[in-house]
Amino acid sequence: MPVYLNTVQLGGSNPVYLVPDPSNQYILIACLGSGSIVAVRREVDGSLGSVDYQYVFPGNEEAQKMTCPHQVYYDLSEKYLVVSLKGTKKTTIPAKEGLAVFKFTPEGGFEEIYSISGRNFDHCRHVAIHPNNKVVYQINELHSCVISLYLDNATGHMTPFQISQT
């Protein structure tokens, strides 16, 4: 039977996806409504501690929030944190649409190392990574397509090579 431990205020709204970091010291959470990702410390007893790190994506400084992270997901080596972003590029706000790649460390938090734009108004939702850790599949909501990308395991950079309709 599950046991309630506690809750914490994230400093963001609408948490939609979470994953533990490789050290298991943090829970990394995508906050769709506030356009941010946060790192919440895990306490020894399993309860949630403080929000130690927050990364706010561009386009969220104004009231109209345009960059919406939908998922945080590690590649299979747990070296790269891939964040799927829904945004709108054809606005005056510099929102992101596509994928952002981070390194996360308990000592330094989030470090964005790469991003790749999606097609405008695709509304990127989620990613899955092939068992060989060399291909990323990104599902897009509005155009009902999957974009396949090669993942460079040395740099975290991605190169699209195929678009398939769902």
> How far apart, in whole angstroms, are the C-alpha atoms of residue 28 and residue 110?
10
Q: CA distances (Å), 55 to each of 24, 38, 117, in order? A: 19, 6, 18
Q: How far is Cα 156 from Cα 150, in angstroms, rounded to an integer?
A: 10
Q: Could you tell me the pLDDT band of residue 108, with boundaries at 50, 70 and 90? A: very high
- Specify the length of the chain in residues: 166
Report whether pLDDT(94) > 60.
Answer: no
- Rounded Cα distance between 39 and 42, Å, is 9
Structure tokens at 33: 């409504």
Provide the pLDDT for residue 102. 97
Q: Which of 31-40, 77-86, 88-97, 155-164 shows the lowest per-residue confidence on average (mean pLDDT)?
A: 88-97
For the full predicted model, state whether its pTM sits above 0.85.
yes
| 21-34 tens-digit pLDDT | 999 999 999 998 88
Q: 113, 99, 82, 102: which is closest to 160 by C-alpha?
A: 99
- Asked if 98 contacts 124 with a C-beta cutoff of 8 angstroms, the reply is yes
Residue 59 is predicted with a pLDDT of: 67
pLDDT tens digits, residue range 109-128?
Answer: 999 999 887 766 667 789 99
The predicted-structure confidence for 149-160, as pLDDT tens digits, reads as follows 999 999 999 999
